[in-house]
Each structure stands twice: as C-alpha cells, then as structure tokens.
Amino acid sequence: MALVPDNTLITDTPEQGRELAIILARKTVAAIQTDADTRQTLRPGYATNADSLTMATHVVATVAAANDYWRNPASSAES
C-alpha cells in the first residue's frame, strides 16, 4: 500500500494538501488496523467522541500546514 501518493507531500493548492492529509490519515489507520471488520466495529466509538475527532483534525491540519514549509522552507522559518 502506498501511503504517500506519487511519493510527495507537496501539493499545488491548499485544498489538495488538505485532501492529501485526509488520505494519509485514513491509510495510516488502515495500515495500523488491517482488519476492516474491526475498523467498522470501532468506528461508532470514535465517530461520536469529540477528543478523537479533534485529534484527527490535528493530524490533517499539521500535514496541510507543513505543506507550505516543504514548498518554501526559508519563508516558513521566518514566520
């Protein structure tokens, strides 16, 4: 399973960065918990847990924000 599509985390737009981050989060969960039935059984528990959802959004936001760093490390370091 390719966890990083096209072997890069750099995207052309912020929306593509967000989409990539969601893909990475989903594929990582599938790589860690390989049994689809178990994932389906667990889903209702985290789908209704505010802390779990907040943690998932942090992963997505971190990857999306880092995209600008990877594109231009010098300007991101100045921020």
pTM for the predicted model, two decimal places: 0.64
Q: At what angle do helices 14-32 and 50-71 cross, to 10 degrees?
A: 130
15 membership: H or E segment, kind and range:
helix 14-32
Distance in angstroms (rounded) separating the CA atoms of residues 61 and 54: 10
Q: What is the mean pLDDT of the chain?
A: 79
Instruction: Report the chain's terminal Cα–Cα distance, integer Å.
Output: 35
Residue 30 contacts residue 10 (beta carbons within 8 Å): no
Paired tokens of 18: 């967000």
CA-to-CA dists, residue 19 to 22, 26, 57, 60, angstroms: 5, 11, 12, 8
How much is the average pLDDT of 16-33? 85
In this prediction, residue 72 carries a pLDDT of: 64
pLDDT band of residue 12 (cuts 50, 70, 90) is confident
How much is the average pLDDT of 49-61? 85
